[in-house]
């Protein structure tokens, strides 16, 4: 949470000593008794009050801690603070622990950020005449024209036209090529171009957000090492200003289309010498060693084994005995019975196979000498 608070304060434009992590930790431990804590608390509350028009405020001095606690409680109630530890209980015991101080500052910082976003969105929904006035005012400042006392756009455009005519008549400006869009556009065509530009800006915004997120992830990955963890503040101090200067919104408008020159139609290779003079960096000269082949090509992967075994034809094994005898080794039919365990089988026509200890002889009985019975003789019942 301390890192979130540091990022929030820096994003809000806070320029105090609490941007240092060590000082922030000491200030949170001291709480309302710290002048730095009271200063950032008063700054956040005053910014929120000016944007949201609240009735409550922090007007007490830092020496009167109880009065500050009372005013903070009223201010948080008006903001509908979701933390009960900051709103309930004895007023003298509120905002004393380190955790409560951290929650208080983080809540106020996030509320201020939300109010600034809402205000910025409301400002973007301006009248088209105001937008045209701002564009013409930008042109006047670029041409170093004196500011007009009135906000009449047509009068300002006449002044701009006269200035441009004087500049072009002074000499040969070879760098000013012909216009890329030389045709005169009617109202319907301009509206169509506006829709195309809005669709492209939406697409470019998605791409820019993706690239910015990749940048954040890449920078965060460099902070995983133990050496980088000790330099977190230095990295944030260098990276955060550059990061917040990147906007996901596209600034291209129809004015850029009208101002485009013919030299923009030339496609220049990114690997050309003039372009590489400004895009080359030291990391391009680092040679990577040979890396192992990690595969991943579907054409080289063996197919998985089948989930079911292949079907095979059923094999004919010995079954059970027939009508009169159950076979010990093989099944007998109607006319022939299989032998049992100790005695030969019986059959109407022929003797069955001998048992385990006796074998059938011709005289209708088995012998005792062999392990397996012989063939039984003829026997009558």
- Residue 216 has a pLDDT of 92
Report d(CA 84, CA 87) in Å as an integer: 5
What is the pLDDT confidence band of residue 173, given thresholds at 50, 70 and 90? low
Q: Are residues 50 and 14 in the same domain?
A: yes
Q: Are residues 2 and 96 in the same domain?
A: yes
What is the pLDDT confidence band of residue 57, given thresholds at 50, 70 and 90? confident
Show which of 262, 278, 302 is a domain's final residue. Answer: 262
Q: Are residues 152 and 196 in the same domain?
A: no
Q: Are residues 103 and 136 in the same domain?
A: no
Q: Are residues 10 and 77 in the same domain?
A: yes
Residue 312 maps to a domain: no
Residue 52 maps to a domain: yes
Q: Are residues 12 and 107 in the same domain?
A: yes
Range of the domain at 13: 1-125
- Residue 207 has a pLDDT of 95
Structure tokens at 292: 């192992």
Report d(CA 70, CA 60) in Å as an integer: 10
First to last CA, the chain: 102
Q: Are residues 74 and 86 in the same domain?
A: yes
- Residue 191 has a pLDDT of 92
Q: Are residues 114 and 138 in the same domain?
A: no
Show which of 217, 243, 262 is a domain's final residue. Answer: 262
- Residue 381 has a pLDDT of 44
User: Is this model's pTM higher than 0.75 or not?
Assistant: no
- Residue 212 has a pLDDT of 94
- Residue 335 has a pLDDT of 40
Q: Are residues 47 and 88 in the same domain?
A: yes
Q: Are residues 221 and 110 in the same domain?
A: no
Q: Are residues 256 and 202 in the same domain?
A: yes
Show which of 171, 203, 236 is a domain's final residue. Answer: 171
Q: Are residues 160 and 191 in the same domain?
A: no
Residue 243 maps to a domain: yes
Per-position b or e across 92-110, b if 16+ CB within 10 A of its CB:
eebbeeeebbbbbbbbbbe
Mean pLDDT on 7-13: 84
The answer to whether 45 and 112 have CB atoms below 8 angstroms apart is no
Residue 157 maps to a domain: yes
The answer to whether 91 and 75 have CB atoms below 8 angstroms apart is no
Residue 352 has pLDDT above 50, yes or no: no
pLDDT higher at 322 or 222: 222
pLDDT higher at 225 or 323: 225
Report d(CA 132, CA 152) in Å as an integer: 10
Domain count, the chain: 3
Extract the runs of DSSP E, i.e. beta strands, from 194-268.
Answer: none
Q: What is the mean pLDDT of the chain?
A: 75
| Residue pLDDT, tens place only, 302-338 | 877 777 777 777 777 655 554 444 444 444 444 444 4
**pLDDT-wise least confident of 95-99, 190-194, 214-218, 318-322:** 318-322
Residue 300 maps to a domain: no
Residue 289 has pLDDT above 80, yes or no: no
């Amino acid at each position: 949470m301390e890192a979130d608070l540091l990022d929030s304060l820096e994003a809000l434009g806070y320029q105090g000593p609490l941007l240092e992590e060590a000082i922030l930790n000491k200030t949170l431990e001291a709480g309302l008794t710290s002048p730095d804590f009271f200063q950032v608390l008063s700054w956040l509350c005053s910014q929120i009050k000016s944007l949201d028009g609240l009735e409550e405020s922090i007007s007490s001095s830092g020496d009167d801690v109880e009065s500050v606690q009372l005013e903070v409680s009223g201010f948080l109630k008006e903001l509908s603070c979701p933390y009960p530890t900051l709103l309930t209980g004895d007023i003298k015991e509120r905002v004393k622990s380190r955790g409560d101080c951290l929650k208080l500052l983080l809540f106020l910082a996030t509320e201020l950020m939300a109010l600034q976003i809402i205000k910025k969105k409301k400002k973007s929904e301006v009248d088209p005449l105001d937008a045209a006035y701002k564009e013409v005012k930008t042109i006047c400042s670029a041409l170093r024209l004196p500011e007009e006392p009135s906000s009449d756009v047509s009068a300002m455009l006449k002044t701009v036209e006269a200035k441009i005519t004087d500049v072009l008549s002074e000499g040969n400006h070879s760098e000013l090529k012909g216009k890329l869009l030389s045709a005169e556009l009617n109202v319907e065509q301009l509206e169509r171009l506006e829709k195309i530009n809005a669709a492209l800006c939406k697409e470019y915004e998605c791409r820019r957000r993706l690239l910015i997120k990749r940048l954040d992830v890449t920078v965060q990955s460099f902070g995983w090492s133990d050496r980088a963890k000790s330099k977190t503040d230095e990295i944030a101090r260098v990276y955060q200003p550059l990061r917040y200067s990147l906007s996901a919104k596209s600034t291209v408008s129809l004015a850029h289309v009208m101002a485009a020159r013919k030299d923009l139609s030339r496609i220049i290779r990114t690997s050309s010498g003039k372009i590489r003079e400004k895009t080359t960096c030291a990391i391009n000269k680092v040679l990577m060693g040979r890396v192992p082949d990690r595969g991943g090509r579907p054409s080289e992967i063996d197919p998985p084994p089948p989930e079911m075994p292949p079907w095979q034809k059923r094999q004919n094994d010995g079954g059970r005995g027939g009508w009169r005898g159950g076979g010990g080794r093989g099944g007998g039919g109607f006319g022939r019975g299989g032998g049992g365990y100790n005695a030969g089988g019986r059959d109407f026509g022929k003797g069955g196979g001998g048992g385990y200890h006796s074998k059938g002889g011709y005289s209708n009985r088995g012998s005792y000498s062999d392990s397996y019975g012989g063939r039984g003789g003829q026997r009558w019942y």
